[in-house]
Each structure stands twice: as structure tokens, then as C-alpha cells.
Amino acid sequence: MEKCPGCTKEFKSKRSLAGHIGQIHKDKLQEYRYVSGLDEKCRECGKLLVTSKSGLCGKCQFKRRHTLGYHSVDLPVWDLTIPELAYAFGFFQSDGNLNRSKKNPNKGKFILCIALRDEEVLHKLKKLIPVNYSIGYRTRDTNFKKNYKSVYLSICDIRFRRMLNNIGLPYGKKSDIIKPPSVSFSEADYIRGLIDGDGSLGLTIKNRPFISIVTSSDNIALMYQDYIYRVTGVKKVTNRNTRDNVYNIEVRDENAQAITKTLYYPGCLSINRKYNKFLEMCRWTRPEGEIKRNFVCKRWSPEQDKYILNHHVEDSMSYLKRTMKSIRIRLWRLTGKCLLTQGELYEKN
């Protein structure tokens, strides 16, 4: 209880006492406030306080809470050379979403939403998260399926969101601008996270193994194509498709097996459903009597284009070591005309 020094009336709090002194004892306001210990000042800005347990005004308390206090201590940056963390970040980039409020940038949320059938991977990932989180369920109608059931992982901690953003997960719409992490990372585990999120693998209807990924990011497409080349020796050149304007990079047969064997291994962190598909791919063998096609695609260079435009087809065949069909198709693409060989010109004349 707080006693008034003027009338000895008791009050439950200093705020109530301050209001009483201001109304009843106006003539001795400063004296009574000083005696009652009400003239406190904010330790940060010096503003006069009525009462404050922390010694800070409301504005300074908010400032310290969001910039100088709890939220200012950043979480350690994930070491993406650790396989589990590299996989988690790749999975977050593909199926996660990082958003924040326009009015207050400190307010935001990270959400990872996947199909209910793959719920087990969320319970594996949550062990890697050092902050509070929540897991929820929802059922909704989508463009592809009615009553689609999904499960989501939600994290609001600003320190965790700041850490993800610093290593390469952008806020808002991310499909076109995501790129590999800005720190050292385990490439195979990171790509496995992308495949589990935006890719697919298994056996086709004709029982042929395949692995594919769909992405709208130029950086991710180039990185994955380079990884395919280093593993299989095949230069995979893919352009955006016409319908969706995205890259759909697919590899089949032995090359698909070689890639998946570098991505998936016993005990790796992954979606169980896709790991079982990987095991099915490993059991596939090429049918007897079927010959594997091995060929090297000879790309046209600007120097070769210039040569065939200024020489006869026969000369180009002998100099460039190419077939007549290859040269004539290239000439048609460059000029829009099907040029004749010397023999055809002679017969025509």
C-alpha cells in the first residue's frame, strides 16, 4: 500500500497515489511527489515517469525489447556443411515461405507447408530448430484437388527468420530469385532438400527410372545442370517451357540412378516416400538386348556458323567433320533457306 504524505490516505499503487496528489494536493504537488518517490526518470531518455518497475518509459521498453534486448542476440548461423542442416535449408527454400508485416518489419512468420502424407519429415526437422514453433493442420480446396489435407510448421521468432534471410531465403515471393546459400554448404544434401520439395523421382509407367526438378530460378537451374554434368558427364541444357515459364530438368535411366545414389544414402534425412522410390530405382536394370545410346552432342559455334555460310556444303562436311543433314539443317535455321549441294545444283542446271 502507498500512503499519501498529505492526508495519510492509502492507495494500492503509485499510479493511483500520483493521480490523487495531482487532484487533491495541487499546491504541494512537487513536494509530495518527491517525498513519495514518484519523480523517477527514464534511464534511457530522461523522461519523467509516474512509476516504472524497469526504470524505462514505454517507448524505450519497446525499443530495447526489439532492438537492444532479447531479439538483438542473433542465433548462430547454421553450419550448412552439416548434412541435416543443408537438407533442411534446401527444403525450406522449396516448400517454405518467409513473410513479414509492411507496417512493422519485426513482425513476421516462417511457414513450411507440405502434404499430410509426408508429415513424418516435419517431426525430423523440428529437432533442428532451436526456437519455439507450432505445428498445425488444414484442409482446403486447391486448383488440383478438393479437400487437400496438409500440415504446416510455423515459426515467428525474429532471430530465426533473420538467420534464414541472411543465408539466402528471401522474404515474400521467392520462386524466381532463390539461389544456393551464401555460405559453404553440403551440395548433395542441399540438392536432396530441393528434390524432396520441388522434385520427383521413381519409375515411369514404362518402368524407366527418372529424377526431375521443377524450378523458376535461373540460379538453381544452372547449379543443378552443373551438378548433373559433374556426376554423369552429360551437359543438360534446358530452357523454360512455354506453358508455365519454368525449368523442368529431367534425367533418366542409368544417369538418373547415378544422380540419386549421390543424393540419397542410408540414414539420410529425407521424406520416407521418396527414399523408398530411390530404393526402387536402384533395383532397376536395363532389359537384355537393349543397347544404351551413347553419343556426344556437337554444339555449333559462331565460327562454324560463319564458315558454312561462306562455303559449299561439301567443303563444310570435310572441314567440320559433320554430316550433310546436320549442315543443311543448320543453314536452314540461319537463313531460312534449304541450300543445295554442288551435285544438286549440277543436276538442276
Do 261 and 315 share a domain, yes or no?
no
Grid coordinates representing 35 are: 517525498
Contact 217, 177 (CB under 8 A): yes
Reported as a single tens digit per residue, the pLDDT across 232-271 is: 888 887 888 888 889 999 998 889 999 999 999 999 999 9
Do 29 and 54 share a domain, yes or no?
yes
Does residue 221 sit within a domain? Answer: yes
Buried-state track 6-41, b at ≥16 Cβ within 10 A, e below 16 = beeeebeebeebbebbeeebeeeeeebbeebebebe
Grid coordinates representing 347 are: 543436276
Residues of the domain holding 341: 302-348
Does residue 32 sit within a domain? Answer: yes
Q: Poorest-confidence range of 57-71, 152-166, 181-195?
A: 57-71
Do 46 and 16 share a domain, yes or no?
yes
Per-residue confidence band for 343, with pLDDT thresholds at 50, 70 and 90: very low
How many Cα atoms within 13 Å fall on the side-chain side of residue 241?
Answer: 10
Do 52 and 100 share a domain, yes or no?
no
> For residue 289, what pLDDT is reported?
74
Do 168 and 209 share a domain, yes or no?
no
> For residue 73, what pLDDT is reported?
57
Distance CA 318, CA 314 (A): 6
- Give yes or no for residue 133 having a pLDDT over 80: yes
Q: For residue 170, what is the domain's CATH number?
A: 3.10.28.10
Q: CA of 218: how far to CAs of 112, 200, 236, in Å?
A: 23, 19, 14
Does residue 22 sit within a domain? Answer: yes
pTM: predicted TM-score of the whole model, two decimal places: 0.67
Q: Which residue has the higher pLDDT, 237 or 200?
A: 200
Does residue 34 sit within a domain? Answer: yes
Residues 298-323: what's their mean pLDDT?
Answer: 88
> For residue 54, what pLDDT is reported?
54
* Number of domains within the chain: 4
Last residue in a domain, options 148, 174, 200:
174
- Give yes or no for residue 276 having a pLDDT over 50: yes
Does residue 122 sit within a domain? Answer: yes
Grid coordinates representing 279 are: 530404393
Do 210 and 273 share a domain, yes or no?
yes
Last residue in a domain, options 68, 94, 112:
68
Closest CA to 93 of 78, 105, 71: 78
How confident is the prediction for the chain on average, in pLDDT? 81
Distance CA 113, CA 135 (A): 10
Q: Poorest-confidence range of 17-21, 28-32, 257-261?
A: 28-32
Last residue in a domain, options 128, 147, 174:
174
Grid coordinates representing 142 are: 486447391
> For residue 15, what pLDDT is reported?
64
- Please state whether 150 falls in left (phi above 0), alpha (psi between -120 and 50) or beta: beta
- What are the φ/ψ torsions at residue 159 (nearest 5 degrees)? -65, -40
Does residue 288 sit within a domain? Answer: no
Per-residue confidence band for 220, with pLDDT thresholds at 50, 70 and 90: very high
> For residue 262, what pLDDT is reported?
94
Does residue 78 sit within a domain? Answer: no
Q: Poorest-confidence range of 49-58, 134-143, 178-187, 214-223?
A: 49-58
Sign of CA pseudo-dihedral 127, 130, 136, 142: negative
> For residue 294, what pLDDT is reported?
63
Distance of CA 338 to the CA centre of its chain: 48
Residues 71-81: what's their mean pLDDT?
Answer: 73
- Give yes or no for residue 287 having a pLDDT over 90: no
> For residue 264, what pLDDT is reported?
94
> For residue 37, what pLDDT is reported?
53
Does residue 294 sit within a domain? Answer: no
Report which residue type is found at 156: C
Closest CA to 279 of 190, 200, 202, 191: 202
Distance CA 190, CA 38 (A): 59
Per-residue confidence band for 34, with pLDDT thresholds at 50, 70 and 90: very low
> For residue 260, what pLDDT is reported?
94
Distance CA 348, CA 74 (A): 80
Do 194 and 166 share a domain, yes or no?
no
Query: Count of CB atoms within 10 A of residue 105's CB?
Result: 11
Residues 86-99: what's their mean pLDDT?
Answer: 92
- Give yes or no for residue 188 having a pLDDT over 50: yes
In 141-287 the beta strands, taken as DSSP E runs, fall at 148-155, 199-203, 209-215, 247-252
Report the SS3 class of residue 139. Answer: strand
Per-residue confidence band for 192, with pLDDT thresholds at 50, 70 and 90: very high
Contact 121, 274 (CB under 8 A): no
- Give yes or no for residue 18 having a pLDDT over 70: no
> For residue 341, what pLDDT is reported?
52
Which helix H or strand E contains 2, and what residues bound it? strand 2-3
Alpha helices (H) along 10-57: 14-24, 29-35
